[in-house]
Amino acid sequence: MSKKVEWYTEFVNESYKPSKTDVVVLFYFEPAKGISRDEAIGRIASESSTGTWTTLFRMPPRMKKLMATAFEVDGNFVKVAYPLDLWEPGNAPQLLSGIAGNIFGMKALENLRLIDVTLPKEYIKHFKGPCQGIQGIRKMMKVKKRPLTGAVPKPKIGFSAKEHAEIAFETWMGGFDLTKDDENLSSTSFNNFYERVKFMTKMRDKAEKETGEQKDALINITAETKEMMKRAKVLHDNGWRYAMIDVVVAGTASVQTLRDTLGDYKMAIHAHRAMHATFDRNEKHGLSMQFLAKIMRLIGVDQIHSGTAVGKLVSPRKEVETIAETMREMKVKEEKNNLLNQDWGNIKPGFPVASGGMHPGLIPDVMEILGNECTILVSGGIHGHPKGTRAGAKASMQAIEATMNGVSLEEYAKNHLELKEALDKWGHMRPV
Ligand code: CAP
Ligand code: MG
């Protein structure tokens, strides 16, 4: 065949030096059988920028300047640089359509995983980032040093709005800062959103009055976008300071819209990540959770579920640490084949959220990984306490106190009955 049919290898240049304004993406890749390394990385850079499968009849000169370049290869890891002009300012969905789109379906790749991205300041300046951030949340909740705490009523769905609020009251009276809706609770026949807000508001005011502490809730507004805006307003009008969104199922476009709405109300966004494991669990294919966390911090969630390493859901320790670094640091240094450099400029830091199979016996393990700058959700682990929700929350608070004072749980349990009862039931078991 004389005429050139493909031009993928024109997207490979190992002597290319990315410019300061390039978006740079780190991929893990495995060529399919019979595909060379350069044919694979050329396809990644081509299909995610200006290319397609064949040479073309017409190529305006501008194209040359918009082509992505695969420029650094280290075994199965490749960095691809994208000119800034490829990306619409402030449009998160479009970024994902480019770097996290068609390339994942290419036959020429056996596996492909997007690990991290360096977003230049010229790109991030078009995004708001968290409204409150770590400092704002600590100030708003009057919690200076320890991790913030919360719980979901369990069973996760089925309570009436009134029952839900009664469990929230018990949770708050046990010392927790927050009650959280579960990811699959929105507005059902037995637990209407607006009913729930009414009862929750009453119970919150009662708990705040009786404890003198700031109490709040991560009430799930996930729904069609205009409905989410309506629910955000109702939360605001009732004095709530957070809203919860299932950000993966809702999508980046609606999270951007709600960041504007909630930001006008100075409300913090709690990002549940339900559905993330459809694309981040396979270490050889898909998107990393740290990439999802990065995009959501950029758009402006104040906290996002980050795993526990010791709980019931898959979350390797290294991944939990990487997500925490992505959410909390202002400047991230490159870590070979795991993290790229990132200067967050004015984008505020957010909290990693440890949740999933947590109980008092696991609190020291999680705090050893995340320290105090986190939110810890203990749900089944308080409602399953032998003496009920309030005792379970107390036991978890006692476990946090013990850990912050450098005392073992067993030692602290000698004069903290609720913690003793929790340890008698669960010890330090790691649920699967
Ligand atoms: C935890 C939870 C959370 C998970 C989500 C649940 O309840 O409410 O949704 O933590 O996982 O429904 O399982 P338990 P992740 O504390 O009773 O396990 O935090 O990994 O996103
Ligand atoms: Mg849940």
Cβ neighbors of 52 (< 8 A, separation 6 or more) are 46
- Residue 385 annotated as catalytic: no
pLDDT attached to residue 6: 81
Q: How many CB atoms lie within 10 A of CB 88?
A: 12
**Could you say which DSSP state residue 237 is in?**
H
For residues 179 and 307, is the Cβ–Cβ distance under 8 A?
no
- What digits encode the pLDDT tens for the residues 151-169? 999 999 999 999 999 999 9
- Residue 387 annotated as catalytic: no
**DSSP codes joined into one string, 146-162:** SPEEEE--SSSS---HH
Query: Does ligand 1 lie within 6 Å of residue 154's CB atom?
Result: yes
Atom of ligand 1 nearest to the CA of 156: 12
> What domains lie within the chain, and their CATH numbers?
8-124 (3.30.70.150), 133-426 (3.20.20.110)
User: Of these residues, 128, 154, 198, 312, which one is catalytic?
Assistant: 154
pLDDT attached to residue 3: 67
Query: Does ligand 1 lie within 6 Å of residue 312's CB atom?
Result: yes
Residue 250 one-letter amino acid? A
pLDDT attached to residue 192: 98
pTM: 0.96
Report the percentage of the chain scoring pLDDT > 70: 99
- What digits encode the pLDDT tens for the residues 78-129? 999 999 999 999 999 999 999 999 999 999 999 999 999 999 999 999 999 9
Distance CA 97, CA 106 (A): 14
Q: Could you tell which of 279, 280, 313, 363 is best to mutate to test the pocket of ligand 1, judged by most ligand atoms within 8 Å of the CB?
A: 313
Query: Does ligand 1 lie within 6 Å of residue 380's CB atom?
Result: yes
- What digits encode the pLDDT tens for the residues 191-250? 999 999 999 999 999 999 999 999 999 999 999 999 999 999 999 999 999 999 999 999
- What digits encode the pLDDT tens for the residues 29-68? 999 999 999 999 999 999 999 988 888 888 888 888 999 9
Q: How many CB atoms lie within 10 A of CB 312?
A: 14
